[in-house]
Structure 1
């Protein structure tokens, strides 16, 4: 099983839709400029106030399929159509 090189306590970005409303994580971004991770759902209308900062461990606890993306390089993104979908990777 893959594991992240980052510590499980590292802060990552997500949204209230994922954490509070239980929407599935369908998009993952590993930002090139700062190495930050972002885990979001399919909700289109996301504004700054919707974002939350949580520990990476919370994201993995919510959806263990995230471990498949532990080797996602900075400047790459992954998406899937639904919670059971296969992750597709691309450059950002």
Structure 2
């Protein structure tokens, strides 16, 4: 059975312009404890709020289906990997 997120596909998530526009790999995923929001980032340093974008969960899945592997990441959880073809490590 293919994994899926419990959230709806139109759920708003955070990412960066480096991941979404520049197509840099997603290397860290945070499932925020305070509000349950998902955050998908790469290894680029975000220096200000304008580096972040709000997009739909569906857009992130289309960008990188490997995030489905961690769709059950609990609230407050963090997942990371060394590269786009590396396995996810859950904290």
Q: Is TM more than 0.5 here?
A: yes
Q: Secondary structure at the match of 2:23?
A: coil
Instruction: Give the equivalent residue in structure 2 for 1:73.
Output: 74
Take 2:47 and 2:41, find their aligned partners in 1: how far apart are those partners?
9
Instruction: Give the equivalent residue in structure 1 for 2:28.
Output: 27
Take 1:46 and 1:60, find their aligned partners in 2: how far apart are those partners?
25
TM-superposed CA distance for 1:50, in Å, is 0.4
TM-superposed CA distance for 1:22, in Å, is 0.8
Q: Secondary structure at the match of 2:36?
A: coil
TM-superposed CA distance for 1:46, in Å, is 3.5
Structure 1's consecutive aligned runs of 4 or more residues displaced over 4 angstroms after TM superposition are: none
CA RMSD in angstroms comes to 0.8
The number of equivalent residue pairs is 90
- TM (norm. structure 1) is 0.94
Correspondence 1:40-59 to 2 at 5 A: 40-59=41-60
Structure 1: unaligned runs, 5 residues or longer: none
Structure 2: unaligned runs, 5 residues or longer: none
| 1:85 correspondence with 2:75 | no
- TM (norm. structure 2) is 0.95
Take 1:46 and 1:30, find their aligned partners in 2: how far apart are those partners?
21
